Amino acid sequence: MIQINSRAVFRRMIAFNASNDLAGDVRLPSPEYTSLQLPGDAQQYALVIWDQERLCIDLEILADQLPHRIDTLAAGMLADALEPTLWACQDLEERHVFPTILQLDASLGPTVARLRAEHVEDEDHAALVSETIMHFIRNPQAADADRLGYLIRGLFLPLKRHSAFDRNVMLPLYLRAQATL
């Protein structure tokens, strides 16, 4: 089983967001699929997808708080967790999920190639967002808030779509591939 180290950070962020008055305005991902008992790495895959979806919600909350209602501690924790969280999901997909699915159905090669390209784009964008969040925390200026909000939304919107695809398409394919192979 693959271990994810970012879960403790997210527990703290979730606790913060539970007390945040904006948290009620944002739809939380349904954790019902993470409570299922899935075989092997599929359970871990479901959890990292949920972590990624939770990350999107935290990014949306941060963007909504700009420029004046930002919690710098939570924003810093989010910036620190951004890249490791994405990497955890992407690494599991690259090393386990994609090869297993391609063994089941090689015709999914173009889909996997597209997802791999999205991983590279997401990693680059996440690094920029993380750096910009940290810069904003150190030197908050209203002009930077617009840029930061744009960058954050430019990351979490496609990432939400990617996570939904992982949850609704890739996870079931992975389960089927594990059962078949």
DSSP assignment string, 34-70:
GSS---THHHHHHHHHHHHHHHHHHHHHHHHHTTTS-
pLDDT recorded at residue 115: 96
What is the pTM assigned to this prediction? Answer: 0.78
Q: State the chain's mean pLDDT as an integer.
A: 82
* Per-residue pLDDT band at 37 (split at 50, 70, 90): low
Tokens of 97: 């999920």
Q: Is 152 left (phi over 0), alpha (psi -120 to 50) or beta?
A: alpha
pLDDT higher than 80, residue 143: no
pLDDT recorded at residue 145: 87
pLDDT recorded at residue 10: 39
28 CB contacts (<8 Å, ≥6 apart)? Answer: 54, 57
* Per-residue pLDDT band at 69 (split at 50, 70, 90): confident
Is residue 67 reached through a cis peptide bond, with omega within 30 degrees of 0 on the bond before it?
Answer: yes
If you average pLDDT over residues 78-95, what whole number do you get? 95
If you average pLDDT over residues 6-20, what whole number do you get? 40
Q: What is the C-alpha to C-alpha distance for residues 33 and 11, in angstroms, rounded to an integer?
A: 18
pLDDT recorded at residue 27: 45
Model confidence pLDDT, tens digit, residues 54-68 = 999 999 999 999 888
pLDDT recorded at residue 109: 97
User: Any idea which residue has 């009620």 for tokens?
Assistant: 24
What per-residue string of b and e applies to 57-74 under the rule 16 or more CB within 10 Å gives b? bbbbbbbbbbeeebbeeb
% pLDDT > 90, the chain: 63
pLDDT recorded at residue 64: 92
pLDDT recorded at residue 24: 40
* Per-residue pLDDT band at 14 (split at 50, 70, 90): very low
